[in-house]
A and B are shown apart, each in its own frame.
Chain A
């Protein structure tokens, strides 16, 4: 103990270096999380008072008994599965294409095009997509009509809205996943492919059995990132659908935000804590599965 203290005193300058970082982490990171858990156990109307009324897990019970919340959680999980699969499949395919020796020229231009939406303010991107889908202003239905395809319901119909925001989010996020795959493809062992080619493996066999196994690190990183990303889908809903039509995009984070907006802090933070638990469980499981496969 005394040793640790003298050690700490000897290196006190490092505490000085870390102090601002620690202060911001505690005040704007850890304190809000503690508050969130604390508020989730108090009565909403009294949550912000110095002497809130404690209700234990009543907010959690109410939230879990709320059919709208259960439906919202189901929608969130469904959307997450669809969005993760679509984004990773597209990103993997496009990264493979960009990595091929065939596409030497303009390669940087193609990368730039797919990555630009990643650094575009998401509000601006989704505002544009909202209007692209518009029945009278939008280019999407005008283009479909021009080639003789029946109109797409877009964000106006409960049947198509999930696909519509999925496409907009793919536009927004997939560039990031593509760049991660490309970084992984660049460091793979190309000698293995040459050996496989000499052994008579077809291009598909080489991709499937030689390249794909080497992309496991990127698949794990992208998989975990995408899971976290889409479980907390929020901005696209605020900008494009406001949870509608008829609740079909009322994902958990948006539902929690609505509660917060109505001053129902107890329910809002209870939902936040539940979603946090879901995110942790799912992402840790995904990570473990990815890691375990590594030691085959």
Chain B
């Protein structure tokens, strides 16, 4: 039998947790129904929980944003995110592996220190001189410049570093005694073990880079290389605001990472927490 005092606490705890969760989720619901309601209806009653009618006309109004077609922003988002994730995972994994295996090689300590300094620098203030770097390299306005800049991230590096440190030295030494070259050690011994951490890092990098907007805005010369968040920002700043269109574009920007997260929530939350703790 449950004691009454405990029952009161249980009810209170569930009530609080449910209320907080609903407050956190409400903006998503408001955004979704906002995309389907007529502006007139929203002005009359912003609070309804179900649209009076489902109106798809909004998608015609955002088919072009800032002179560029919506599908192009979506394609840019996908291409830039996938490319920078693949590149970032490969480059960071190799780099972290080298730094963990031979931390005392000349220059490696300096490299790690340099990387740590870079991530201490306030991100949006790093982006300002990156504009100058891109200008000097002739990469302003190019996809290549955007992808290269988005490839590196602190969380990714710490997750890999932490994983490679956890591999017992004996495993690698045994392979070397058996005559395996360093390349074989990497491809035949380490990489098969690293599959779960590669998946976690790839997932988190995808989510983080999908959300990126400022470097993309700064490196872009025209809206042709904008991604969905950047397009949303420019639609939001346009005069004569199209409320319904803004909500629809916000929903399109939000749904892919939200769906991905719901399917991989445990891996994402644990990965982000342990990457932060070790960093």
Write out the residue numbers on chain B whose beta carbons fall within 8 Å of the beta carbon of A125.
27, 254
B138 contacts the other chain (CB 8 A): no
Write out the residue numbers on chain B whose beta carbons fall within 8 Å of the beta carbon of A7.
105-106
Q: Mark A267-285, 1 if CB is under 8 A from B, else 0.
A: 0110110011001100100
Write out the residue numbers on chain A whose beta carbons fall within 8 Å of the beta carbon of B250.
124, 127-128
Question: Given known contacts A15-B98, A29-B152, is B118 in contact with A120 (CB within 8 Å)?
Answer: no
Which residue in chain A gives the minimum CB-CB distance to B212? A121
Q: Mark B181-199, 1 if CB is under 8 A from A, else 0.
A: 0110010000000000000
Interchain nearest-CB distance for A233 vs B (Å)? 10
Which residue in chain A gives the minimum CB-CB distance to B126? A32
A110 contacts the other chain (CB 8 A): yes
Write out the residue numbers on chain B whose beta carbons fall within 8 Å of the beta carbon of A286.
none
Write out the residue numbers on chain B whose beta carbons fall within 8 Å of the beta carbon of A39.
129, 132
Q: Mark B236-279, 1 if CB is under 8 A from A, else 0.
A: 10000001001100100110011011100110111011101100
Stretch touching chain A among B11-19, B55-63, B68-76, B170-178? B11-19
Write out the residue numbers on chain A whose beta carbons fall within 8 Å of the beta carbon of B149.
28
B120 contacts the other chain (CB 8 A): yes
Interface of A is mostly: helix
Interchain nearest-CB distance for A14 vs B (Å)? 4
Assess whether B277 is in contact with A180, with CB atoms less than 8 Å apart.
yes
Assess whether B254 is in contact with A124, with CB atoms less than 8 Å apart.
yes
Assess whether A146 is in contact with B47, with CB atoms less than 8 Å apart.
yes
Q: Mark B123-139, 1 if CB is under 8 A from A, else 0.
A: 11110111111010100
Which residue in chain B gives the minimum CB-CB distance to A121? B211
Assess whether B261 is in contact with A116, with CB atoms less than 8 Å apart.
yes
Chain A interface size range: 35 or more
Write out the residue numbers on chain B whose beta carbons fall within 8 Å of the beta carbon of A22.
95, 111
Assess whether A32 is in contact with B247, with CB atoms less than 8 Å apart.
no
CA distance A117 to B95 in the complex (A): 31
Q: Mark A23-37, 1 if CB is under 8 A from B, else 0.
A: 011111111110110
| The residue from B6, B31, B211 contacting A128, defined by CB atoms under 8 A apart | B31
CA distance A25 to B97 in the complex (A): 15
B165 contacts the other chain (CB 8 A): no
Which among B26, B46, B149, B229 has the highest number of chain A CB atoms within 10 Å?
Answer: B46
Question: Given known contacts A123-B233, A130-B236, is B151 in contact with A24 (CB within 8 Å)?
Answer: yes
| The residue from A26, A116, A128 contacting B114, defined by CB atoms under 8 A apart | A26
Which residue in chain B gives the minimum CB-CB distance to A181? B273
Write out the residue numbers on chain A whose beta carbons fall within 8 Å of the beta carbon of B266.
108
Write out the residue numbers on chain B whose beta carbons fall within 8 Å of the beta carbon of A127.
232-233, 236, 246, 250
Q: Mark B1-38, 1 if CB is under 8 A from A, else 0.
A: 00000100110011011101110111110110010000
B64 contacts the other chain (CB 8 A): no
| The residue from B107, B229, B276 contacting A124, defined by CB atoms under 8 A apart | B229
Interchain nearest-CB distance for B3 vs A (Å)? 12
Assess whether B120 is in contact with A142, with CB atoms less than 8 Å apart.
no
**Size of interface on B: residues with Cβ below 8 Å to A:** 99
A204 contacts the other chain (CB 8 A): no
Assess whether B98 is in contact with A279, with CB atoms less than 8 Å apart.
no
CA distance A256 to B211 in the complex (A): 22
B42 contacts the other chain (CB 8 A): yes
Write out the residue numbers on chain B whose beta carbons fall within 8 Å of the beta carbon of A132.
27, 30
Interchain nearest-CB distance for A138 vs B (Å)? 6
Question: Given known contacts A33-B129, A183-B273, is B247 in contact with A279 (CB within 8 Å)?
Answer: no
B67 contacts the other chain (CB 8 A): no
CA distance A27 to B43 in the complex (A): 50
B207 contacts the other chain (CB 8 A): yes
CA distance A138 to B243 in the complex (A): 11
CA distance A221 to B258 in the complex (A): 26
Assess whether A256 is in contact with B128, with CB atoms less than 8 Å apart.
yes
Which residue in chain B gives the minimum CB-CB distance to A35? B129
Question: Given known contacts A28-B133, A103-B14, A131-B247, is B24 in contact with A17 (CB within 8 Å)?
Answer: no
B213 contacts the other chain (CB 8 A): yes
B: residues with CB less than 8 A from A are 6, 9-10, 13-14, 16-18, 20-22, 24-28, 30-31, 34, 42-43, 45-47, 90-92, 94-99, 101-102, 105-108, 111, 114-115, 117-126, 128-133, 135, 137, 148-149, 151-152, 182-183, 186, 207, 210-211, 213-214, 228-230, 232-233, 236, 243, 246-247, 250, 253-254, 257-258, 260-262, 265-266, 268-270, 272-274, 276-277
* Extra A-B contacts (4), CB below 8 Å, given A28-B130, A39-B129: A11-B102, A32-B130, A94-B20, A179-B269
Offer 23 A-B interface pairs, CB within 8 angstroms, sorted by A: A11-B102, A11-B105, A17-B94, A17-B98, A18-B108, A21-B94, A21-B111, A108-B266, A112-B261, A113-B21, A115-B261, A116-B24, A116-B261, A119-B257, A123-B213, A123-B229, A131-B34, A137-B42, A221-B277, A228-B122, A256-B125, A257-B128, A276-B120
* A-B complex: 3 closest residue pairs judged by Cβ atoms: A21-B95, A29-B118, A113-B21
